[in-house]
Structure 1
Amino acid sequence: MRFAWFALLPLLAACNSTPSAVNEGTISRVADKPAQDSTALPPPDTSRTKAVSALSDTLRVVRERRNFSNPQGSPDKFQLVFRGPSMLEGTGEFTITNADGQVIFREMLTEPDLEAALVYEMKTPTATPAEREAFVRRRIDRFFLPSQFRAPAVAANSAFPTGIENLDRAAWNDLKQRPDAIRFEYLKGKEDRQQIAWSPLKKQVIRVQ
């Protein structure tokens, strides 16, 4: 019996050492693998993740190409991008980009700026959220109608308008002499009709009415 017992001791020792050897080998292989794959799997770029939020969600985009800053040349890109958590909580970014890719005009339009004119269509004292959303979508979709682009930008017999902040009289008079100059008209709020044009004299977009 005593001989059999001592005979089993080497076997027990081998069995006890086997899991340790296997585990060490597994850890070694796992540790070596990332070193080989590190070039194929770079660290994740978290900068984009931080920039994403519900407020930056794009809900609707409309684009139109029209002659504007260069009446006889390449058209400009008119674009309205509406972003936000919902159609009733978003903000629209209206931009005009010339043929060289330069943004020559930018304006932010709030949801109330786009919804305010709904009061003229309401047949009841209040509108449902679905009706309000539908109206905002339609305002966005119809923001660049062909009828809103007109020439001349300023009629030759027009009187200089008053009450327009920062309107340059020299630039306005210069546009009166340009029958091919184009103006774009859009509604902001209930009744605030903005009329803008490219001023060759000032090299920028100005309000003409």
Structure 2
Amino acid sequence: MRTTRLFLLLPLLAACNSTPSAVNEGSVSQMDDRQGPDSTTAPTATNSALPAPDTAHTKAVSAVRDTLRVSRIAHNFSRPKGPADKFQLIFRGPSILEGTGEFTITDPEGQVIFREMLTEPDLEAALVYEMKGPTATRAERETFVLRRIDRFFLPAQFHTPAVAAKATFPGGIENLDRATWNDLQKRPDAIGFEYLKGKEDRRQIAWSPIKKQSVRVR
């Protein structure tokens, strides 16, 4: 009788012994699936956190901080009537005598249709005509450059027509062909803008409807 009961209990004991093992394995598997960066398990060589980057010696760049002078005006250029274009000269650099100016014209749709970089010497060169002695002080040079920037878009520098009907086609101007010149001559309402680069390099630009771009006409 005892032998019979022992044989009946053996399967039950085997089942009881195997059940905790299966449950524990399942629990370990679920914890592995949930483990992530916040897991309390010890980090391995592949998931150790990297040290924060050292930015103590990084120099921040700020267009606002480096901007020394801005001159702007709204004036018709790419179209004789309607919304005006935006003319802008932004002078940036570590100092007035070490900066560079960016001259741009932006149409009413926000498209930049003209861009030219003007160095500090480009803006200072004409000072020679105002000097009363062989040299100028740093303060005099800075004052002259700032005045050039502030007066870069005077109303008198805009001309209509951009090309006079009897003007002679100029040679040696890059990207100016005779067809573009002739077309502008037939447009009495075309607008030209004149500016000085360097000491005597006086330039004039206009918008070419047939080229769909700004062109230098003088």
Task: State the TM-score, normalizing by the size of structure 2.
Answer: 0.72
Q: Residue deviations 1:152-198, cap 9 Å, x none?
A: 00001111011212212111110000000000000000000010000
Which one of 33, 52, 59 corresponds to residue 61 of structure 2?
Answer: 52
SS in 1 for 2:97: coil
Q: How does 1:118-129 map to 2 (within 5 A)?
A: 118-129=127-138
Q: How does 1:84-103 map to 2 (within 5 A)?
A: 84-103=93-112
Q: Is the 8 A contact 1:55 1:84 kept in 2?
A: no
SS in 2 for 1:135: helix
In structure 1, distance between residues paired with 2:63 and 2:113? 28
SS in 2 for 1:88: helix
Partner of 1:176: 185
SS in 2 for 1:115: helix
Which one of 191, 198, 203 corresponds to residue 212 of structure 2?
Answer: 203
Q: How does 1:36-115 map to 2 (within 5 A)?
A: 52=61, 57-115=66-124
Which one of 144, 168, 172 corresponds to residue 163 of structure 1?
Answer: 172
* AA aligned opposite 1:68: F
SS in 2 for 1:105: strand
Q: Cα RMSD between the aligned structures?
A: 2.1
Task: State the TM-score, normalizing by the size of structure 1.
Answer: 0.75
Q: How many residues end up aligned between the 2 structures?
A: 164
Q: Is the 8 A contact 1:56 1:84 kept in 2?
A: no
In structure 1, distance between residues paired with 2:106 and 2:122? 22
* AA aligned opposite 1:150: H
Percent of residue pairs bearing the same amino acid type = 78
In structure 2, distance between residues paired with 1:119 and 1:73? 40
